A and B are shown apart, each in its own frame.
Chain A
Amino acid sequence: MRSRALRSPRVRSRSSLQHGWRVARALFASQYALMLEYRAEILLWALSGLVPFIMLAVWIESPAGDALGMGPTQLARYFLAAFVVRQFTVAWVMTVFEEDALQGRLSPMLLQPLHPFWRYLASHFAEQAIRLPFVAMIASLFFLVLPWAFWVPNPQRALLALAATFLAFLLNFLIQCTMACLCFWSERVNALERLIYIPMLFLSGTAAPLEAFPPALRRMVEWTPFPLLVNFPAQLLSGGEVSIAAGFTALAGWITGLFLLMTLLWRIGVKRYGAMGA
């Protein structure tokens, strides 16, 4: 530590990238090792995201599915894509942050020269890495049961879907971080998570593709960030009709806005923070 403080600013700026890379690698490696212990739980978490499959069963059987203009094949692909996208956009910052704040673990974290949210980000990435084979297994099982739904997205669409899924994850992560900052004002932010979970279930496209909504409602929902979380990446992945430029613009806009809001809330909040029990 001392040697770093003694370095001249110029040398430091050159090595700051290297330093950042080292920190990132160490964070990811430690969080990966930690998450690896929870393999069974992660598998169960992955399985608990099966709602799109239930909805697929209802949509396929209902005449309302035909009226949508999506045949059974397109419906099956859409809901499988929605399942996969949801697996890689899960965030649980509010739960962990509330626990860390209540248990007093936040205080030592604040003393470190690293924003606590970076640690959470690393743990989310580590969890996704462990989740990957489970998701692949469930997807293969899906194609075994419904072989007619099998498809390989074209490379361009696949890349776009990957980018959209990553941005959707960042968006969800930032929503959670912003709300987690409210922990500085109230000790029970977890109850709020339940409230935000509801629109995520009904408006994100998990339970029904956005095309199924009445037009007026659909236009309203498109002003919220929720369809960006599942519907947009899932449509990209399943090869459905979607406006690519509008989707990415909206994602970028929401991510920037929430990042600024989160930084502001954090600055004000940290000043109020008096450590739990003090």
Chain B
Amino acid sequence: MKRKSLLMFCLFLVVAWLSGCATFETEKKAVPYRLTAQGTVIWEDEFEFLPPPPDWKLLRVETGENDINFGFTRSDPGTFPSMTTFAYDEEPFGCSTKFEDREREFFKRFLFNAILQFQVLEKKKVQVLGAEGFEVTVEGKDPIKKEKVRAKVVFGKRGERIVGFYITQWRPIDGTYDLSAFEVFDRFVKSFKLLKKSFYETL
């Protein structure tokens, strides 16, 4: 029988229900990207993608672990909370490497502080990052705050791990969604290329 080594790894933990929350913060220092003649962006020599139009502002998501998370945001016409944000996330909520399981895990925590009731509008397999991925479109409503959000999440594979793209568009409960923003997101996702192996693939 194969003998397992006894390397043990202990964590002394404080049960903090909200630990690991990402916070959005606009990056103040110079960003590590360059534009190509083809109009795409090369990000840290690791990713290449088609950027959104100039009215979208760049976002970095601070994780504290140097994982790559970035996206774009845009204020939309109309009253609060009218805005749209989309992002690439190396470590979307959840742990599973199977798309269906990861979707379930992800939506347990996605926008958890907004306390929304989500309705799944569409689920389908898609091509992303050169392989099969999984796309889920949902709408969440908060009748107390009188707000709603339409969101699309695309899961893809980077090596053995699942990465994610997501867009959220917030509106007052009686507001109208601007689906053209989702087309911008779709172009971003479709254009997204991995230029090198991730840290985890090199171990």
Q: Verify that A and B bind, or say they do not.
A: no
Binding site for A on B (CB under 8 A): none
